[in-house]
């Protein structure tokens, strides 16, 4: 790869290019990152034309070139460039805890003094020190008079840990650059005001969109007290998730299935219908090639308690529980058998679609389950979509044609009669997984 800046040509040789960055004078630009990266980066007018392919290990080297080699022509451009550079570093640092901080957000922090990074850190998991504390500890005495870059407004309340605002003030930080305001009502601008009242200069909104995307799960959960719902499905080119006989393993290839396990590692819980349990006897665990994965909580929609007591989701060894969601139609004897076998029972009310999904999401949120990966079949997917409960979709498409009127598609239910009522996606991204194509997009909720 070659990267041109200021008359100099630098060469990088990434093993597997995963993204594209193009910075045009007078225009915004996006960095589309592949697996292992957690955000899009936006670079406003930099006064140059640049083109580079980036992989994760080359990201900061290329950004370093942007910061150090480009001559900014606009007033304040150099300062803005530095803010972007160090905030990008903080975002990357925050992403190291992907899938590990629930119900807390992912946060990264970088301490900079005299143009040098003297401390950095991230929030690893709930109940442990926050990113600012880690970064300030690493910086030590060098934090006095330094600038703190943090991806989320420092907290100012006592929770599982003490307020970060106190630590920032005590360390002698003179300026704090914040990506976004904390949507938690306990903070929501209060942390910024405390810092300002202490004489600290505070700048907000630097790479705010990337920070919001990084913490899309936390923002949904803390704002609505409902989990962020992601629907994943895999289908053939002609829109089939199984053959007419019900065979579905495997429609997509190994690369797509490996990505699905990364999704399971990222989100708190996974949901299927009892039909999937009866047909496939899945384990619904996380199996990463490098190991170290986190199993999601397994949730099964089973109004009549048809789940076998010897199903893998119940008998396998896993640190995460299996929740069987039922209604009053379920036989008490069977529920006791499932409970004795190790399953947790959640009995909910029913509506026209079966189990009331909104009530289910509320109950999961009460357990601090902040995100839910729906890996359902035709009926489950259709019910979630018709109930307007999906926030994001991950669609895997294999270059296969199955055919047949009896072969099921990914979304059931009554459907729509007018195209104007179709569920629309925004902010769509595409990724190649072996021979398959992965499509991600965010759902535009009906009525909004």
The residues that are catalytic are 132
Residues 6+ apart with CB under 8 A from 8: 69
* Tokens 């099921």 -> residue: 408
Q: What is the CA radius of gyration of the chain?
A: 24
Q: What is the strand order of the sheet 228-236 is part of?
A: 344-347, 322-326, 297-301, 269-273, 371-374, 228-236, 392-398, 436-444, 424-433
Which residues face 30 on adjacent strands? 42
Which residues face 430 on adjacent strands? 439
What interhelical angle do 164-171 and 131-139 show, nearest 10?
20
Q: What angle do CA 44, 51, 38 make, to 5 degrees?
A: 65
Strands (E), 105-190: 108-113, 116-122, 147-150, 175-178
Q: Are 192 and 203 in contact (CB under 8 A)?
A: no
Cα 21 from chain centre? 21
For residue 194, CA distances in Å to 17, 30, 145, 147, 164 come to: 43, 34, 18, 16, 11
Q: Are 172 and 145 in contact (CB under 8 A)?
A: yes
- Helices assigned H by DSSP within 252-409: 254-266, 274-280, 312-315, 332-340, 357-366, 378-386
Reply yes or no: is the peptide bond before residue 242 cis, omega within 30 of 0.
Answer: no
Residues 447 and 388: their CA atoms lie apart, in Å, by 10
Q: Are 147 and 177 in contact (CB under 8 A)?
A: yes
Which residues face 10 on adjacent strands? 3
Task: Look at residue 299 and give its three-state secondary structure.
Answer: strand
Reply yes or no: is the peptide bond before residue 250 cis, omega within 30 of 0.
Answer: yes
* Tokens 């007033």 -> residue: 75
């Amino acid at each position: 790869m070659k990267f041109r800046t200021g008359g100099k040509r630098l060469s990088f040789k990434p093993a597997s290019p995963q993204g594209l960055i193009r910075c045009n004078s007078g225009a915004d630009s996006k960095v589309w990152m592949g697996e292992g990266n957690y955000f899009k980066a936006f670079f406003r007018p930099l006064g140059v034309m640049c083109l580079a392919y980036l992989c994760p290990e080359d990201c900061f080297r290329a950004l370093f070139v942007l910061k150090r080699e480009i001559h900014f022509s606009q007033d304040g451009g150099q300062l803005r460039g530095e803010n972007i550079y160090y905030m990008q570093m903080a975002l990357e640092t925050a992403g190291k805890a992907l899938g590990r901080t629930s119900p807390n957000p992912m946060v990264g922090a970088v301490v900079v003094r005299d143009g040098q990074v003297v401390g950095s850190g991230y929030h690893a998991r709930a109940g442990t020190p926050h990113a600012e504390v880690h970064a300030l500890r690493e910086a030590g005495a060098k934090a006095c008079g330094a600038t703190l870059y943090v991806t989320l407004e420092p907290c100012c309340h006592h929770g599982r840990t003490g307020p970060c605002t106190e630590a920032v003030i005590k360390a002698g930080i003179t300026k704090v650059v914040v990506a976004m305001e904390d949507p938690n009502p306990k903070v929501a601008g209060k942390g910024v005001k405390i810092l300002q009242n202490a004489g600290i200069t505070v700048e907000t909104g630097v790479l705010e969109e990337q920070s919001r995307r990084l913490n899309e799960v936390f923002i949904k959960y803390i704002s609505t007290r409902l989990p962020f719902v992601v629907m994943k499905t895999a289908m053939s080119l002609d829109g089939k998730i199984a053959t007419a006989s019900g065979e579905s393993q495997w429609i997509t290839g190994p690369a797509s299935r490996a990505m699905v396990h990364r999704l399971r590692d990222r989100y708190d819980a996974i949901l299927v219908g009892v039909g999937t349990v009866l047909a496939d006897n899945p384990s619904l665990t996380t199996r990463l090639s490098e190991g170290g994965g986190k199993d999601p909580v397994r949730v099964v929609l089973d109004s009549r308690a048809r789940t076998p007591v010897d199903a893998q989701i119940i008998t396998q060894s896993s640190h995460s529980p299996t929740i069987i969601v039922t209604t009053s139609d379920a036989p008490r004897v069977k529920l006791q058998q499932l409970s004795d076998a190790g399953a947790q029972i959640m009995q909910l009310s029913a509506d026209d679609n079966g189990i009331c999904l909104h009530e289910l999401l509320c109950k999961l949120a009460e357990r601090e389950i902040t995100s839910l990966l729906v890996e359902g079949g035709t009926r489950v997917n259709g019910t979630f979509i018709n109930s307007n409960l999906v926030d994001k979709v991950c669609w895997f498409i294999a270059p296969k044609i199955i055919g047949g009127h009896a072969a099921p598609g990914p979304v059931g239910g009554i459907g729509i009669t007018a195209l104007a009522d179709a569920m629309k996606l925004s902010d769509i991204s595409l990724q190649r997984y072996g021979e398959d194509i992965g499509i991600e997009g965010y759902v535009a909720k009906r009525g909004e």
